[in-house]
Amino acid sequence: MARDYAERAQWSLKEAEYALRSGQSAVCVRRSQEAVELASKALLRRIAIEYPREHDVSEALDNAAQRLPDYLKSKLDELKAMLRQLAGARGPAFHGYEAEGIPASEAFTREYATDILEKTRPLVDVCVRFALQ
């Protein structure tokens, strides 16, 4: 399971990169969210920690801290913050802000999507590295 999650996290990250190059900021944000979620779940699976069946598994990472190598422990706060942030952006990146009449394609700027991708990439990489050991 950890390997499958890790491989799909890498694939989602590639899709996020392609979406950004193609001018699809909302898709980039959505795929970045999927990548960091899957990478975090791969990490948790690797050390046999159950997590809630939710998009934000940041609380489950608190239970993992003592079982992780230092290179990963040093990234936990950043990883948890990114999980929380992107869990909140997940819906709007797919549906937009319907009540306000803002479609997903207009909800996120290229700058925001670029920033998210740049922050997500190293977090996914470190989680995948650990999960595939």
Helix (H/G/I), strand (E/B), else coil: 132 = coil
pLDDT for 15 equals 98
Task: Dump pLDDT digits (tens) for 112-122.
Answer: 999 999 999 99
Task: Point out the residues of the chain with pLDDT beneath 50.
Answer: none
Q: Write down all domains in the chain, each with its CATH number in brackets.
A: 2-131 (1.20.120.330)
pLDDT for 80 equals 94
Q: What's the whole-model pTM score?
A: 0.94
117 with 15: CB under 8 angstroms? no
pLDDT for 66 equals 87
pLDDT for 116 equals 98
Per-residue burial over 56-88, b = 16 or more CB atoms within 10 Å of its CB, e = otherwise: bbbebbeebeeebeeebeebbeebbebbebbbe
Task: Dump pLDDT digits (tens) for 10-36.
Answer: 999 999 999 999 999 999 999 999 999
Structure token pair of residue 2: 């950890």
